[in-house]
Chain A
Amino acid sequence: MADSLLKVDQVSQRFGGLLAVNAASFEVEADSITALIGPNGAGKTTLFAIIAGFQNPSEGRITFAAEEITGIEPHLLARRGLVRTFQIVQPFATLTVRDNIAVGAHLRHPDRRAALDKAEIIARQLGLGQLLDRPAENLTVSARKRLELARALAAEPRLLLLDEVMAGLNPSEVRDLLPVIRDIREGGTTILLIEHVMQAVMNLSDRVHVLAEGKIIASGRPEDVVDNEEVIEAYLGEGAARQYGTSGRPS
């Protein structure tokens, strides 16, 4: 196994009486695309928020590039190369696409001119070249998703956390975005994604971790995980695996 870039170790998050994340542990290998899947309410987004520094976990520790990062503020994590996107896209609404992406680019390029040039390159790479001077608030859902991706990419992350970047896209838009994400990995960025669109998970990921009720219940290659009895039951309810006649291998 290659070196792991991110290590989540026994992380728990309590909200009052609710245990949203329950001693979750998993790793993300360098240069991989790793997916975190699970039914609604499984705690994926909470776990993401913890990894990116937006929340402090009740227990557990996170290690990034061999250094502990638990409790470090998001902007400092971004400087270290850990950048997230948001499930509900959060563009800088009145700024143009170019200016939006430049905010990300400024992390590594203090000079305005350099940041704007970088923004233009990234925009073209993500198919936003025609929209550079459009205010972000006038974009379609699909373009907003790309913009969210572009901004994060402009910050030149080592690890990119993508929170449901495919959600709300139609199948052909999903198909168009798949190679874009693969290209990002080819460019040397490790990717951890939360995803509900299985077309994307199966196509992209090297490794999948399944979160249900706050716990990691299965990990493995995507085609193994979807056959896992426990995973099927987590999504469809108890007894579903038998009913649908899946072989069901132990995890």
Chain B
Amino acid sequence: MKGPLAVVTVVGLLACVPLAGASNVTLNFLIVAMLAALVGQGWNILGGYGGQYSFGHAAFFGSGAYVTAILQVRYGVNAWVGFGCGIVAGAIVGGVIGFLVFRSGLKGSYFALVTLAFAEVLRIVGSVAPITGAGVGTLIKLDLRPEALQFQSRAIFYWLILLLVFISLLIAERLEQTRFGAWLMAVRENEDSARALGVDVFAVKMGAAVLSAAVTAAAGCFYAQYFLFIDSSIAFGSRVSVEALLAAIVGGSGTVFGPLAGALAVRSLGEVAKLVAGDAPGVDLAIYGAVLVAVVAFAPRGIVGLGATLWARLRTGEAGHLAGSSSRG
């Protein structure tokens, strides 16, 4: 099953979970997992499809979160409007960073380092600037009304984040079916070849950066509304950046469902690790790390890639070399 139908089916099934009488704990887990999936999909657009490995997606997440929160708290803007502004703000930050980094022709590890640096600069600014609440952070007033984009029921929050994930999945699915997506993947594979075939490499990267930042910022906006509190290390800390690329890479970067599968896997693993390790500090992180190493070593194309390989093997009964199983850096 492929294409939009697959997206609708998967999201449809996920949407049924609250109806099946899931507990608040389960819903909370799923909401956090969907947040990771959304951040991961944002990363996937630029990193997975475009091959630009960013370590600084927190810059976009934090911009969305702060703009949503600050507009409400300091300027009394409606939360829904703030949410929209947050997405736009993230896209603008993406455009500015993209412009600076791609104009200077930074690639590979340099790109990763510079994006990380941008996020760190924003984190430091966020921890001292008065408008962000500096070290104290920003608290959004509890106001459980739909107009204020706050809900008594976790199920509604869950459906809201699922809607955002749904949109992000459709964006990824479109990338695989349009010229822009084909150009983006060509840029990932080989910039010189792409250029020789008429691809405006700079414009394509810029488009991907803005789109990627907007999706990631949406996750930030949601975070602010759901937890009603942010500070600069939550918003701009490297945790979000790492979570973004983990979800995408573990699930399968450059695939539609990779970030969703990766987010669910990584989050579940986190829970299991906590159970196993109990309160022993750091053990859950060690387990986490070990699984990551295993994924990178044995399933370089992530869960989705592994699934596709196993499925192909099952169908053809062929144990040897398979086209789909070859690794990509």
Do A and B pair up? The answer is yes
Q: Which residues of A contact B (CB under 8 A)?
A: 52, 54, 73-75, 78-79, 83-86, 90-95, 99, 102-104, 106-107, 110-112, 115, 134-135, 137-138, 151-152, 154-155
Report B-chain residues with C-beta under 8 Å of the C-beta of A151: 193, 197
A-B contact pairs, 7 of them (CB 8 A): A75-B195, A83-B197, A90-B190, A92-B186, A106-B182, A112-B179, A115-B179
The listed residue (B179, B189, B326) touching A106 by CB distance below 8 A is B179
- Given contacts A75-B198, A102-B182, A135-B326, is CB(A91)–CB(B177) below 8 Å? no
* Known A74-B196, A106-B179, A112-B177; 18 more pairs at CB < 8 Å: A52-B196, A54-B192, A75-B195, A83-B197, A91-B189, A91-B190, A92-B186, A92-B194, A94-B328, A103-B194, A103-B199, A104-B197, A106-B182, A107-B198, A112-B178, A112-B179, A134-B323, A135-B323
Chain A CB count within 10 A is highest, among B189, B197, B326, for B197
Asked if B113 CB lies within 8 Å of chain A CBs, one says no
- Given contacts A90-B192, A99-B182, A103-B183, is CB(A152)–CB(B197) below 8 Å? yes
Report B-chain residues with C-beta under 8 Å of the C-beta of A154: 197
Inter-subunit contact A92/B196 (CB<8 Å):
no
Inter-subunit contact A106/B195 (CB<8 Å):
no
- Given contacts A92-B186, A92-B189, A112-B179, is CB(A103)–CB(B323) below 8 Å? no
Main secondary structure, interface of B, reads helix
Asked if B271 CB lies within 8 Å of chain A CBs, one says no
Tell me the smallest distance from the CB of A85 to a CB of chain B, in Å: 8
**Alpha-carbon distance between A155 and B194 when the two chains are bound, in angstroms:** 11
Q: Which residues of B contact A (CB under 8 A)?
A: 177-179, 182-183, 185-186, 189-190, 192-201, 323, 326, 328
Report A-chain residues with C-beta under 8 Å of the C-beta of B197: 75, 78, 83, 103-104, 107, 151-152, 154-155
The listed residue (B190, B195, B323) touching A92 by CB distance below 8 A is B190
Tell me the smallest distance from the CB of A158 to a CB of chain B, in Å: 13
Report B-chain residues with C-beta under 8 Å of the C-beta of A85: 196
Report B-chain residues with C-beta under 8 Å of the C-beta of A112: 177-179, 182
Tell me the smallest distance from the CB of A161 to a CB of chain B, in Å: 9
Report A-chain residues with C-beta under 8 Å of the C-beta of B183: 103, 106
Which 4 A/B pairs are nearest by Cβ-Cβ distance? A78-B198, A92-B189, A107-B198, A90-B193
Tell me the smallest distance from the CB of B74 to a CB of chain A, in Å: 44
**Alpha-carbon distance between A78 and B192 when the two chains are bound, in angstroms:** 12
Inter-subunit contact A86/B192 (CB<8 Å):
yes
Report A-chain residues with C-beta under 8 Å of the C-beta of B326: 135, 137-138
Q: Which residue of B lies closest to A133 (CB)?
A: B323
Report A-chain residues with C-beta under 8 Å of the C-beta of B192: 54, 86, 90
**Alpha-carbon distance between A135 and B189 when the two chains are bound, in angstroms:** 12
**Alpha-carbon distance between A73 and B202 when the two chains are bound, in angstroms:** 11
Chain A CB count within 10 A is highest, among B189, B192, B199, B201, for B189
The listed residue (A86, A94, A107, A134) touching B193 by CB distance below 8 A is A86
Chain B CB count within 10 A is highest, among A74, A103, A112, for A103
**Alpha-carbon distance between A132 and B5 when the two chains are bound, in angstroms:** 25
Chain B CB count within 10 A is highest, among A52, A74, A93, for A74
Report A-chain residues with C-beta under 8 Å of the C-beta of B190: 90-93
**Alpha-carbon distance between A107 and B326 when the two chains are bound, in angstroms:** 29
Q: Which residue of A lies closest to B203 (CB)?
A: A75
Report B-chain residues with C-beta under 8 Å of the C-beta of A134: 323
Inter-subunit contact A138/B323 (CB<8 Å):
yes
Q: Which residue of A lies closest to B191 (CB)?
A: A90
Tell me the smallest distance from the CB of A7 to a CB of chain B, in Å: 21
**Alpha-carbon distance between A99 and B179 when the two chains are bound, in angstroms:** 11
Tell me the smallest distance from the CB of A249 to a CB of chain B, in Å: 38
- Given contacts A99-B182, A135-B323, A138-B326, is CB(A94)–CB(B189) below 8 Å? yes
Tell me the smallest distance from the CB of B33 to a CB of chain A, in Å: 28
- Given contacts A90-B190, A112-B177, A138-B323, is CB(A152)–CB(B182) below 8 Å? no
**Alpha-carbon distance between A183 and B177 when the two chains are bound, in angstroms:** 32
Inter-subunit contact B179/A95 (CB<8 Å):
no
Report A-chain residues with C-beta under 8 Å of the C-beta of B182: 99, 102-103, 106, 112, 115
Q: Which residue of B lies closest to A79 (CB)?
A: B198
**Alpha-carbon distance between A85 and B195 when the two chains are bound, in angstroms:** 11
Q: Which residue of B lies closest to A73 (CB)?
A: B195
- Given contacts A103-B183, A112-B182, A138-B323, is CB(A152)–CB(B189) below 8 Å? no
Q: Which residue of B lies closest to A94 (CB)?
A: B328
- Given contacts A94-B328, A106-B183, A138-B326, is CB(A75)–CB(B200) below 8 Å? yes
Q: Which residue of A lies closest to B254 (CB)?
A: A94
Report B-chain residues with C-beta under 8 Å of the C-beta of A135: 323, 326
**Alpha-carbon distance between A94 and B326 when the two chains are bound, in angstroms:** 9
Tell me the smallest distance from the CB of B142 to a CB of chain A, in Å: 48
Report A-chain residues with C-beta under 8 Å of the C-beta of B328: 93-94
**Alpha-carbon distance between A146 and B92 when the two chains are bound, in angstroms:** 42
- Given contacts A93-B189, A94-B328, A112-B182, is CB(A75)–CB(B323) below 8 Å? no
Tell me the smallest distance from the CB of B53 to a CB of chain A, in Å: 15
Report A-chain residues with C-beta under 8 Å of the C-beta of B198: 75, 78-79, 83, 104, 107, 155
Q: Which residue of B lies closest to A110 (CB)?
A: B179
Inter-subunit contact A95/B185 (CB<8 Å):
yes
